Amino acid sequence: MTYQTQMSNPGWSGLARMIGSPIVRTMSLLALCAAYIQGPLTKILDFNGALAEMDHFGLHPAAYFAVAVIVFELTASAMVIIGFLRWAGALALSGFTLVATFVALRFWEMTPGMDRMMATNAFFEHLGLAGAFVFVAAFDLTKGAGR
């Protein structure tokens, strides 16, 4: 069955209308950004924990990096969700995710066991998340170009 045949089927067009609706799009973007909203809120509510996290990863001065991460994640998430320079916010979150993943989830340095397995899974999940943000940016940049 070709794509054109699928889309001419009333069942498929209904599905396309549903998943293409503004509410589903907004909820999907909110879900994609959920960790980048939850993380900063947790840091705000437990700033000492945020400072300890920055210290753990060798980011000094810890207070500067904690505030910078909070502002960055909330701002970029808002850009993605509301659509203001969505592509830029999505690419920024993708790059941030890649850097943070390679800093925080170095599973290849861990001894075999449950912790390594969990870090490996989280590493590849974060790669997928970074890829999803690139997809959002590409869609945002090309949707007006008839693609």
Query: What's the token pair of residue 93?
Result: 């979150």
Would residue 122 count as lying in a domain?
Answer: yes
pLDDT averaged over the chain?
92
pLDDT at 74 over 60: yes
Residues 91-126 as b or e (16 or more Cβ within 10 Å = b) = bbbbebbbeebeeebeeeeeeeeeeeeebeeebeeb
pLDDT at 118 over 60: yes
Average of pLDDT values for 26-35? 97
Would residue 1 count as lying in a domain?
Answer: no
Residue ranges making up the domain that contains 62: 32-145
Which tens digits make up the pLDDT trace of 87-112?
A: 999 999 999 999 999 999 999 999 99
Would residue 133 count as lying in a domain?
Answer: yes
Count of domains observed in the chain: 1
Would residue 69 count as lying in a domain?
Answer: yes
Radius of gyration over every alpha carbon of the chain, rounded to an integer in angstroms? 19
Sequence-ordered strand ranges (E) for 22-66? none
Average of pLDDT values for 113-134? 98
pLDDT at 146 over 60: no
pLDDT for the residue numbered 12: 83
pLDDT for the residue numbered 43: 98
Q: Are 71 and 77 a contacting pair, CB within 8 Å?
A: no
pTM: 0.87
pLDDT for the residue numbered 14: 87
Q: Are 53 and 70 a contacting pair, CB within 8 Å?
A: no
pLDDT at 26 over 80: yes
DSSP state of 111: P
Would residue 63 count as lying in a domain?
Answer: yes
